[in-house]
Amino acid sequence: MAMTKTTKIVLVVGTILVLAGVGAYFYFRKKPQKTIPTPIPEPNVLQDAFDNLNFDFGKSTIRQSSFPALDKLAQTLVEAKNWKIDIDGHTDDKGSDSYNQKLSQDRANAVKSYLVSKGVVADKITATGYGETKPIVKNDSDANRERNRRVEFKITKPNNEVITIKA
């Protein structure tokens, strides 16, 4: 069967259109974008959490006013899955050694429990109570005792960079 001139033209034009369509497809299709990881904010939220972390006197109950800052810290830790955090509880010298040890541990545990309740992986958090054994100033005034009643945060990044927030 011989092709007519019209059939040849239709085949050539059809082939050109198919090739143009395939070429246009490859030319205009979206090229895969390189994904740039979202930078995890430096933990200035750590300072906010520290500055706004308050407990009732003699108790390990976190005051509700502390929740917004701890929520920001929790969100940062959820996003930074490979960061680890140490929470260290401290007290002043009022009360017995055993009472202060327990109170400082209970406060560190309360912060850990709160962060875990907000989605932070528990294995990434260490909570330790030191009681009155590591004061940052002498316990010789009410103002100094207040400074010694604290919880400190230390974040360790995968590159072993350590960020510590203290009073």
Q: What is the pLDDT of residue 23?
A: 77
Say yes or no to pLDDT of 34 above 70.
no
Q: Which domains does the chain have, with CATH numbers?
A: 44-165 (3.30.1330.60)
What is the sign, positive or negative, of the torsion defined by CA atoms of 97, 95, 92, 73?
Answer: positive
**Is this model's pTM higher than 0.75 or not?**
no
Closest CA to 138 of 151, 128, 123, 148: 148
User: How buried is residue 87: exposed, middle or buried, by Cβ count under 10 Å (0-12/13-18/19+)?
Assistant: buried
Two tokens, residue 68? 């917004």
Average pLDDT over residues 5-21: 80
Q: What is the mean pLDDT of the chain?
A: 84
The yes-or-no verdict on residue 46 having pLDDT over 60 is: yes
